[in-house]
Amino acid sequence: MDLSAYSEGALRGVADRLRSRYARDPVAAHVARPVDVLAGTPLAVARAVVETALAERARRCPSPELVWTGPAPVERARHRDTALVLRGLFASARSRVVLAGYRFDHGRRLLEPLHAAMRDRGVTVRMFVHVPVEQDVMRAPPAQQVAHCHGEVAKLLAANWPFGAPYPEVFYETRPMDTGRFSSMHAKCVVVDARVALVTSANFTRRAQQDNVEVGALIHDPGFVAALAAQWANAVSHGLFVPYQPTTSAKGA
């Protein structure tokens, strides 16, 4: 039975349900979901198939790597530097990158390898950013809200993307305007070529890359990486994030 199409998270969820006291023989559809091929199979067989699939993934998938900013005991250090990992990820990109960040500064240094990947290898980039929204913007007419958000993204690009074309496709969240409640796009992560992901506490700022104490994980698990990339894509397709549409003058700012 081939379970390669299912994420590790999905398989672990099914494994937990198969081990629970609610599991019955044969396996019910609601217990198997979303691994529907297991529905109707004997309970012992389903357990063995799922456990074998998880064990096989554990054998072939590298362990997550600790990524760290800040002081660490040199003799016990088993980590990789945040800034070096980030630049290496951008430099290694061959097809597409998803980047999400709450704060950005010193983009000329941090993002230059990403721009080079776009320019030299045609890498496509989707960037998800936080746009600050105050109460007066929440109460403003829709056209004024859009103008505010686009103005904030234009300022972010002017300060952190001084390279010119090609530009990333930038998305921002509309929930504060839609609901009237404050919220932040506070995620910090990078997905490269659907093969590796960095999930980190570090913003894309000089302090976060050099001075703060920050911790993250570099993850090579294909199921996790695919799920993370799909999460951002689904957020766009469901309208939770909308694209920044710059004018020519804004791009050249």
What pLDDT, on the 0 to 100 scale, is given for residue 90? 95
pLDDT of residue 177: 67
Beta bridge partners of 128: 100, 171
Lowest-confidence pick of 27-36, 153-162, 232-241? 27-36
Q: What is the pLDDT of residues 181-217, one digit of tens each?
A: 777 889 999 999 988 999 999 999 999 999 999 999 9
Segment 144-164 shows an average pLDDT of: 91
Average pLDDT estimate for 126-143: 82
160 compared with 177, residue with greater pLDDT = 160
pLDDT of residue 161: 96
Q: Are strands 96-101 and 124-129 parallel, antiparallel or unpaired?
A: parallel
Homologous superfamily (CATH) for 65-251 = Endonuclease Chain A (3.30.870.10)
Q: How many residues does the chain have?
A: 253
Say what the pLDDT of residue 243 is.
Answer: 94
Q: Is residue 251 over pLDDT 70?
A: no
Task: Evaluate if residue 253 carries a pLDDT over 60.
Answer: no
3-state secondary structure the chain: CCCCCCCHHHHHHHHHHHHCCCCCCCCCHHHHCCCHHHCCCCHHHHHHHHHHHHHHHHHHCCCCEEEEECCCCHHHCCCEEHHHHHHHHHHHCCCEEEEEECCECCHHHHCHHHHHHHHHHCCEEEEEECCCCCHHHHCCCHHHHHHHHHHHHHHHHHHHCCCCCCCCEEEEECHHHHHCCCCCCCCCEEEECCCEEEEECCCECHHHHHCCCEEEEEECCHHHHHHHHHHHHHHHHCCCEEECCCCHHHHCC
Q: In the predicted model, is pLDDT for residue 80 greater than 70?
A: yes
Domain ranges for the chain: 8-60, 65-251
Look over the chain and give the mean of its residue pLDDT values, rounded to a whole number: 88
Q: How confident is the model at residue 115 (pLDDT cuts 50, 70, 90)?
A: very high
Residues 63/82, Cβ–Cβ less than 8 Å? no
**Predicted pLDDT of residue 57:** 75
